Amino acid sequence: MAGGLEDAPPVFGAGDTGGKRRIGDRVFAGMSVGASGFVIVLVGLVGAFLLIKSVPSIADDKVNFLTSTEWSPTPGNLRFGIAALLYVTVVISLVAMIIAVPVAIGVALFITQYAPHSIRKPVAYILDLLAAIPSIVYGIWGLIVLAPKLTPVQNFLSHIPIGLFDNKSATKTIFDGGVVLAVMILPIITAISRDVFDRTPRANIEAALALGATKWEMIRMSVLPYGRAGVVSGSMLGLGRALGETIAVYLIVGTSSSFSTSIFSGGSTFASQIANGSSEFNNPESTGAYIAAGLVLFILTFIVNSAARAIVNRRKDFV
């Protein structure tokens, strides 16, 4: 056939290579493997550094490192434990997740399912801009503007006869920090949820509507089940951000000399405690105590990411 594929000139490097991989493929594969290996080695080296530097201080600790709420890394008399730091870190992150996840899912559903096409992109852009705001700005805003306005909420919740809601402090509380963290992680969860909801197969949506489902029934039967794994992934990414946030928590949550289980009291997370004690890094013993706290945060982050991966992979088996 004139002008057909048979008459086309051969392309250099294309077609059958006789079972041999071309140089470009080998180079690209080597670079990919090398990059992956470099990341694994780098994470391993960070973990090894934290472990090596923290073990001597943990060995010299005069109290139980895992169960003590005391934090006094004085050289020659190390008395530090992670119980209080772990509690505050987990609780403030859970408060942020409880607030942020439902709001993020609602905003993502509004953008993908309810909002007119003319305003979907502007709303999405404005929401994404929240992720570009520096954490120190969130901390200042939370301390000066948000915290005083949350005092009536704290006073109302303090009437609930649960130790978690004992009203210990008016401002600079764990609750204040959780609300600020919720605003900070909202763009991450919303962006991923919006993306997975928008990728729901059109056939699933039309099938639900054809069977007489209402808008909400269609979302409940088609959109939410399809995007559940993505929502979990986005939530875990947001949780990782909340666990490691430093500056905003350091500014808005006040330190406390005594441990309290109330979210209306002050406290320190792993990250904020390390930032607060940076002036004590001139002594190896004191530095080792803070590095030990960083090691626990490192392990905690790994556990969260592993749990998220397990949940997502398990969900894929049923999709």
What pLDDT digit, counting tens, does each position of 37-93 carry?
A: 999 999 999 999 999 999 999 999 899 999 999 998 888 888 999 999 999 999 999
Token code pair at residue 88: 């505050």
CATH of the domain at 161: 1.10.3720.10
Buried b (16+ CB within 10 A) or exposed e, 77-88: ebebbbbbbbbb
264: in domain: yes
How many other C-beta atoms are found inside a 10 Å radius of the C-beta of residue 312? Answer: 16
| pLDDT score at 170 | 67
How high does pLDDT run on average in the chain?
85
Q: How confident is the model at residue 281 (pLDDT cuts 50, 70, 90)?
A: confident
19: in domain: no
Q: How far apart are CA 272 and CA 274, in angstroms?
A: 5
22: in domain: no
Q: Which domain holds residue 148?
A: 77-316
Q: Which of 241, 240, 235, 133 is nearest to 193 (CA)?
A: 235
Q: How confident is the model at residue 1 (pLDDT cuts 50, 70, 90)?
A: very low
26: in domain: no
Q: Which residue has the higher pLDDT, 124 or 171?
A: 124
Q: How far apart are CA 293 and CA 272, in angstroms?
A: 11
70: in domain: no
Residue 296 makes CB contacts below 8 A (sequence gap 6+) with 82, 85, 86, 270
Predicted TM-score (pTM) of the model is: 0.84
- The tens digit of pLDDT for each residue in 193-234 reads 998 898 888 888 888 888 888 888 899 988 998 888 888 888
How many other C-beta atoms are found inside a 10 Å radius of the C-beta of residue 17? Answer: 10
Query: What share of the chain has pLDDT > 90, as a percent?
Result: 32
90: in domain: yes
Q: Which residue has the higher pLDDT, 85 or 306?
A: 85
| pLDDT score at 168 | 67
Q: How confident is the model at residue 282 (pLDDT cuts 50, 70, 90)?
A: confident
Q: How far apart are CA 225 and CA 222, in angstroms?
A: 6
How many other C-beta atoms are found inside a 10 Å radius of the C-beta of residue 220? Answer: 13
Q: How far apart are CA 45 and CA 51, in angstroms?
A: 10
Q: Which of 262, 242, 105 is nearest to 178 (CA)?
A: 242
| pLDDT score at 284 | 85
Domains of the chain: total: 1
Q: How confident is the model at residue 298 (pLDDT cuts 50, 70, 90)?
A: very high
Dihedral (Cα; 106, 112, 117, 121), 10-degree rounding: 80
Q: Is 103 exposed, middle or buried (0-12, 13-18, 19+ CB in 10 A)?
A: middle
Q: How confident is the model at residue 318 (pLDDT cuts 50, 70, 90)?
A: very low
92: in domain: yes
133: in domain: yes
- The tens digit of pLDDT for each residue in 220-276 reads 988 998 888 888 888 988 898 888 888 889 899 888 778 888 888 888 899 999 988
Strand blocks (E) in the chain: 71-74, 77-80
